[in-house]
Amino acid sequence: MSVPQYRVKQGDCIMSIAETYGFFWETIWNHPGNVGLRQRRRDPNILFPGDIVVIPEKTPGSATAPTEQLTKFVKKTACVQVRLRLLDLKRQPRVNVDYIATVDGVNFRGQSDGGGYINIRVRPNAQQLKLKVTEGTKTDEYTLPLGSIDPIDELSGVQQRLTNLGYPCGSEQGTQGELTRAAIRAFQKEMNLNVTGELDDATRQKVEQLHGS
């Protein structure tokens, strides 16, 4: 009997795959068939298109309940936390600014915390977040994809993180053209690294450290 497998698409993570198949994410991530995936990716939130995820067989459960009485069963629904940080042009946190975040038609309102962070709990298969940030008379609007960060050891993963940090790589995803080299040079200069425009280990590590994942 063959073991069911799922081929990862852009935007997938273990949480969204588990939601689709009706599992807790830990059940899939910790399955023995996924030991190679865990060793390669290390973070269940960061997969790469083409990765293979083994899907466990479902095992029926049972529960006891008194007869001739109404029994209520509650389905547990998983949520994941989206954590964003707002920085100004000098890379200082934007503290206590008002925001409205919209995910799947649901609005979340609040203020960034003392570190400029925003924390929102969403469904694992949410694909997009629209963020409106208001500070004084100025309002900024952003559209952010969810679950689409590639691993840091992939060029596209570095490009996505550089763009999130304010060093846009344009449409170059997975190929290193002049836009990416310019972004790398700007990042290396600001971080006091050796300015070459090439992606070396020190630059990759600094990108991951500053991005937080």
Q: Which fold has domain 5-54?
A: Membrane-bound Lytic Murein Transglycosylase D; Chain A (3.10.350)
Give the pLDDT confidence of 7-47 residue by residue, as tens digits: 999 888 888 898 888 888 899 999 999 999 999 988 888 89
Please give the share of the chain, as a percent, with pLDDT higher than 90. Answer: 38
Give the pLDDT mean for 102-109: 88
Which pair of structure tokens corresponds to residue 208?
A: 């991951």
Cα–Cα–Cα angle for 117, 45, 184, nearest 5°? 70
Give the pLDDT confidence of 115-140 residue by residue, as tens digits: 999 998 888 777 788 999 998 888 98
Domain boundary assignment for the chain: 5-54, 80-145, 155-211
pLDDT tops 60 at residue 93: yes
CATH architecture of 80-145: Sandwich (2.60)
Tokens 């490009």 — which residue? 159
Tokens 């689709």 — which residue? 20
